[in-house]
Amino acid sequence: MSTDAPDSSTPTEAPIKLSAVEKIKQESNYLMGTIDQELKDPVDHFNNDNLQLLKFHGSYQQDDRDLRVKLKKSGGGKAYSMMLRCRIPGGRLTSDQLVAHLDMCDELGNSTLKITTRQTLQLHGILKSDLREVIKRVNECGLSTLAACGDVNRNIMCCPAKRVGAIHSQLEQFTDELTTALAPQTPAYHELWITDPDTGEKTLADGGEPTPSNNPVIDEPLYGPTYLPRKFKVGIALPEDNCIDIYTQDLGFIAVVRDEKIIGYNVTVGGGMGRTPSAKKTFPALAKRMAFVTPEQAIDVAKAVIIVQRDNGNRSDRKVARLKYLIANWGIERFRSEVESVFGEKLADCTEDDVHGFDDHMGWQAQGDGKWSYGLNVENGRLYDNEKIQFKTAFRKICAEFNREIRFTGHQSIIFCDIEESEKDRLIEIIQEHGIPTTEQTSTVRRWSMSCVALPTCGLAITESERRLPSLIDSIEEPLAKLGLSNERFTIRMTGCPNGCARPYNADLALVGRAVGKYTLFTGGGWLGNRMAEIYKDAVKDDEVVDEMIGLFAAFKANREGEESFGDFCSRVGVEKLAELAEAAPRP
């Protein structure tokens, strides 16, 4: 399969006007920019061009929006800091790696650590002057931040369940091989963060990034000098366990299993959650099924998909630059044909295998080797210590006593692996000693909810999300119990803006920031993740959200058919009828 860009001498249509970000990438010398110079500058923030390049290195610049007004009144600037995201394929890491991040968040961050919706970790509150030290320490513990953000393939999601046997072993191996195959090759990351800035000497054993020679030849055979038009996300799932939301990914691989072995994958393309309500040309989309590939074909087909997007995605308007827009414009048949052309041969059609189950991997689960894993619900993924709950202290103790493998889920929670039968009570004891509700003590609705970070650090947030969802769940737990729906499983997802980082648009029920103090309510998706939700009501005031939700639950209780799920019910009746039923239903 060729990964070369098209011959620039070939006659083409008139050149399009590139977006500003495309020009920055084009002139960046393969992501180097002037970051090195700015790191030496005592100013507390980076310039706009380098901010775009830093994303590829795993970092976003933010400021504490809670302090903006106060600082402005006092004549000061913004309270700048950096967010740093790791690349942790499939959410798998060691106890030592988790402890290293807990150390960094205390010593060089704002003392909280965030498990993300893509099975990785985010450090917040890092000062610009400490950024090099933090990235160095991430690499020292055997991880990396390269390609955790930016216009490249990001952290690859995969079912985090630890199971003995060929199936999960194949999934994990494929995840690791695909991560390596789709990684950027620029030496800029190594030169900026892995070598001594004064001597140029390598200072640590890095997380597997390309090491430049004395006279490196920069070559990005997969991405080219301007990388992709927009971010790119990959996920790997099992039909019976779509815990990573395969249909929201730009590129997905659904394992096809026969006789306890993966014989190939059904490939999906074109998922993506972001939208801009004021721009009608934007929309969220679920991926489309494209073709079946064998394990031997899978990596080269993944590269072919990326190359087609690289060479044909919109580079003039970033709002419509994701793969989903190219597929919407072309249609899946043309897209598949282009992928086959790059790949070099025809692909087989998808098998009948599709997602039909979802396991959040919470609570005790047998690994198949006589040992157990324990999935602990972490509300919205935030790890912190306060007078009531001490996540960080508890996790340090667990890591010290057990020193076992750790895994993160796509719902921002944590799995402790390789627990002996005789150790189960001790693990729960440590969790409870530190005020943390066990998964068994967590309500079903809270367990199946999640949010994005939003305020105060996300620059795109319009409304609250992570700081609002817990109290919102508090308000609906009792009404759900009175309706007899405490054990009903449905997803509630909340985001502070329409970009959809918590994957709201395929949830049973979602709240998406619309304007200050107002949300758009979506209904009719589902916990399985293969159906889009619809707008139920727009611009709902924050203090009216709970009442609207209770009305929906009451309508569901009074009008559901058989054992249909909440999302199925909302989809069946439609948003107009749903509003009528919610108005008429008796409230608890």
pLDDT one-digit tens code per residue, 26-47: 999 999 999 999 999 999 999 9
Query: Among 458, 493, 514, 557, which one carries the catalytic annotation?
Result: 458
Above 90 in pLDDT, residue 342?
Answer: yes
Active site annotation includes 230:
no
Cα 236 to Cα 492: distance, rounded to the nearest angstrom = 23
Active site annotation includes 322:
no
Residue with tokens 């026969």: 258
Cα 440 to Cα 448: distance, rounded to the nearest angstrom = 13
Above 60 in pLDDT, residue 2?
Answer: no
Structural domains present in the chain: 222-358 (3.30.413.10), 363-444 (3.90.480.10), 446-584 (3.30.413.10)
| Angle value at C-alpha 252, between 249 and 258, nearest 5 degrees | 150
Indicate the helix (H) or strand (E) that contains 180: helix 166-181
Query: Among 55, 92, 114, 154, which one carries the catalytic annotation?
Result: 154
Task: For residue 16, name the pLDDT band (cuts at 50, 70, 90).
Answer: confident
Cα 28 to Cα 220: distance, rounded to the nearest angstrom = 13
168: closest CA among 87, 117, 269, 241?
A: 241
| pLDDT attached to residue 189 | 96
Active site annotation includes 452:
yes
Above 80 in pLDDT, residue 211?
Answer: no
Residues 411, 450 contacting (CB under 8 angstroms): yes
Indicate the helix (H) or strand (E) that contains 407: strand 406-408
- Half-sphere exposure for 193 (CA within 13 Å, toward CB): 34
309: closest CA among 299, 319, 323, 297?
A: 323
The pLDDT tens digits of the residues spanning 457-475 come to 998 999 999 999 999 999 9
Active site annotation includes 572:
no
Q: What 3-state DSSP class applies to 556?
A: helix
Task: For residue 198, name the pLDDT band (cuts at 50, 70, 90).
Answer: low
Label the pairing between strands 80-85 and 157-158.
Answer: unpaired
Is the whole-model pTM more than 0.85? yes
Active site annotation includes 86:
no
Q: What is the 3-state secondary structure (H, E, C) of 35-94?
A: HHHHHHCCCCCCCHHHHHHHHHCCEEEEECHHHHHHHHHCCCCCCEEEEEECECHHHEEC
Mean of per-residue pLDDT scores for the chain: 94
Active site annotation includes 310:
no
Residues 419, 371 contacting (CB under 8 angstroms): yes
Q: What 3-state DSSP class applies to 264?
A: strand
**CA 556 distance to own-chain centroid:** 30
Query: Among 118, 233, 382, 396, which one carries the catalytic annotation?
Result: 233
CB within 8 Å of 122: residues ≥ 6 apart = 83, 84, 85, 86, 113, 114, 116, 453
Residue spans of beta strands (DSSP E) within 442-578? 449-451, 492-495, 509-515, 518-523, 534-541
Residue with tokens 């090099």: 132
Active site annotation includes 243:
no
Cα-based distances in Å from 421 to 367, 401, 425, 427, 439:
11, 15, 8, 11, 18
> Can the peptide bond before residue 456 be classed as cis, meaning omega within 30 degrees of 0?
yes
Task: For residue 9, name the pLDDT band (cuts at 50, 70, 90).
Answer: very low
Q: Is 58 left (phi over 0), alpha (psi -120 to 50) or beta?
A: left
73 compared with 371, residue with greater pLDDT = 371
| pLDDT attached to residue 219 | 81
Residue with tokens 């971010």: 231
Active site annotation includes 233:
yes
User: What does DSSP assign to residue 265?
Assistant: E
Query: Among 86, 158, 399, 501, which one carries the catalytic annotation?
Result: 501
